[in-house]
Amino acid sequence: MPDILKQIVAKKKERIILAKQQLSQEDLIAKLAGLPATRGFKEAISKSKQIALIAEIKQASPSGGIIRQNFNLEEIGRFYQEAGVQAVSVLTEEDFFSGNLAYLNQVKNIFTGPILRKDFILEDYQVYESRYYGADGILLIADLLTKDKLVELMQIADSLGLDYLVEVHDERELKKVLSLKVPIIGINNRSLRTLEIDFKITEKLFPLIPREKIVVVESGIKNFQDVLFLKILGASAVLIGTAFMEAVDIKRKVEEVMGW
């Protein structure tokens, strides 16, 4: 199995170079003045006594190819709004997930809750870019970033009013993240290198995380039984994309999976 993550990162680095040629970091930062305040992502997903849903919008994935043939961004945003989801995750990676940065504000015009930018964030530039394009929170992948880089990106996010979900997949990554002041930890059941899903990742890592942390479980969550198991375990939120993107009736699928 090829290391998909390496391919994604190589392509992303090319994209960042091109973006900087079109708009320098200095000019990008200047454009942030006067933007409306961010919506509280952390607050939205950390309500006590219920498990929150971060519903994802993605057209494609490296493992599944095109997931939703009839991809209507605004319609999906409206379905999520009507279903009452707590936050929406938008895949903005272009080459492997068919995403686009412009999707953030398009969804934000329809969905009234916070928007998480899900992408492969490697550099400061992308954090400023996330704020400019309308994100309220960003995904940071522990496997891709050194401890020092994580701290740097988190500090920039804090200065911009962006929340951040820091994602881990194994004990080594979790140890790195727990040594930092990270309020929201994501456990990804999918290996970004092989794309295989293993629900035992959550069972193994969850007990190692201090109770005061907000824990989001990602990947492989398909039905109400999965959500119920995670709720009993003590997870704060679930991030679900494929199950909804494959559904004929998205709103009904959300209600079915979440038990609403």
The catalytic residues are 56, 58, 118, 167, 188, 218-219
Size of the chain, expressed as the number of residues it contains: 260
Q: How far is residue 134's CA from residue 104's CA, in Å, rounded to a whole number?
A: 6
Which residues on neighbouring strands pair with residue 239, listed in sequence order? 54, 218
Using DSSP, state whether 142 is helix, strand or coil: helix
Strands 87-91 and 115-118: parallel
Q: Which ranges constitute the DSSP H helices of the chain? A: 4-22, 25-30, 41-44, 73-83, 103-108, 124-132, 147-160, 171-178, 200-205, 224-233, 242-245, 250-258
Element spanning 87, H or E: strand 87-91
Using DSSP, state whether 122 is helix, strand or coil: coil
Q: For residue 259, which of 5, 68, 61, 53 has the smallest C-alpha distance? A: 53
**Six-digit token pair at 183?**
């309020």
Q: For residue 61, which of 145, 14, 118 has the smallest C-alpha distance? A: 118
Task: Give, as one character, the DSSP assignment of residue 104.
Answer: H
